[in-house]
Amino acid sequence: MSAILFGSISTLADTSELQRDAFNRAFEKHGLDWHWDRDTYLGMLESSGGADRIATQAERTGEDVDAAAVHATKSELFRQSLPGAGIGPRPGVLETIRAAKTDGVRLALVTTTSRDNVDALLTALAPDLDRDDFALVVDTSVVDTPKPDPAAYRYALDALGESPDACVAVEDNLGGVAAAVGAALRVVAFPNANTAGHDFAAATERVDRLDHGALLRT
């Protein structure tokens, strides 16, 4: 194996509940009488795209909502919450990254979130983890077609000069798994706290902790 492709910021650190809280605070700031409890949010995570979730909610309630503006507020609130959230790398992430670098396996972060969100997350994880650990970072400044479309993975493979069979993707949500499969990649499902109940049958394997040796054998 030549490369490990981490598919979202929540494969590095579990930010899902911070994201939900940011949505709810954004709704309040925009005068929306909405609140996504955890059960509601779990169902929404079966599809990708925060702005799309907002637009769907507006359609259901019959309200005229600027989904892009609400999502931008949510993203800013999420970034502001990271420094004091006490988050850390998920189980096995640091060990996997260190072992991969020792073995000459390249690392990439292949997301369809914003560069600002990626930078905020990596700043919060420093000094344990930073951008220099990755040979490539893909975000919406590079590829603006969201997952489950495989465009981000196809871009990463091309930029790295790698074939799909020489890489493995790590994903925490169904849209990400679909994107990786669409790019002909093997994919390890690494669910976060809010996607643990989802059906990851399309993944090559499902794990609760990353292990470099196991990824090599996937």
Tens digit of pLDDT at every position of the chain (218 positions): 899 999 999 999 999 999 999 999 999 999 999 999 998 898 888 766 788 889 999 999 999 999 999 999 999 999 999 999 999 999 999 999 999 999 999 999 999 999 999 999 999 999 999 999 999 999 999 998 999 999 999 999 999 999 999 999 999 999 999 999 999 999 999 999 999 999 999 999 999 999 998 898 88
Cβ neighbours of residue 91 under 8 Å, at least 6 residues apart?
Answer: 208, 209, 210
Q: Measured between alpha carbons, how far is 87 from 125 in angstroms, rounded to an integer?
A: 7
Structural contact between residues 151 and 145, judged by C-beta atoms closer than 8 angstroms: yes
Q: How far apart are CA 58 and CA 136, in angstroms?
A: 36
Asked if 8 and 171 touch (Cβ cutoff 8 Å), the reply is: yes
DSSP state of 188: E
The answer to whether the beta carbons of residues 190 and 11 sit under 8 Å apart is yes
What pLDDT does residue 144 have?
87
- Which domains are seen in the chain, by residue range? 3-14+88-217 (3.40.50.1000), 16-81 (1.10.150.240)
Strands of the sheet containing 186-189, edge to edge, are 136-138, 106-110, 3-6, 167-171, 186-189, 205-206
Whether the Cβ atoms of residue 181 and residue 187 lie closer than 8 Å to each other:
yes
> Cα angle vertex 152, ends 17, 65, to 5°?
50
CA distance 18 to 36: 12
**Token pair 């919450």 is at which residue?**
81
pTM exceeding 0.85: yes
pLDDT score recorded for residue 48: 65
pLDDT at 43: 82
* Cβ contact 135:163 at 8 Å: no
From the list 90, 72, 92, 87, the residue with the least C-alpha distance to 23 is 72
Task: Specify which residues 188 forms β-bridges with.
Answer: 170, 205
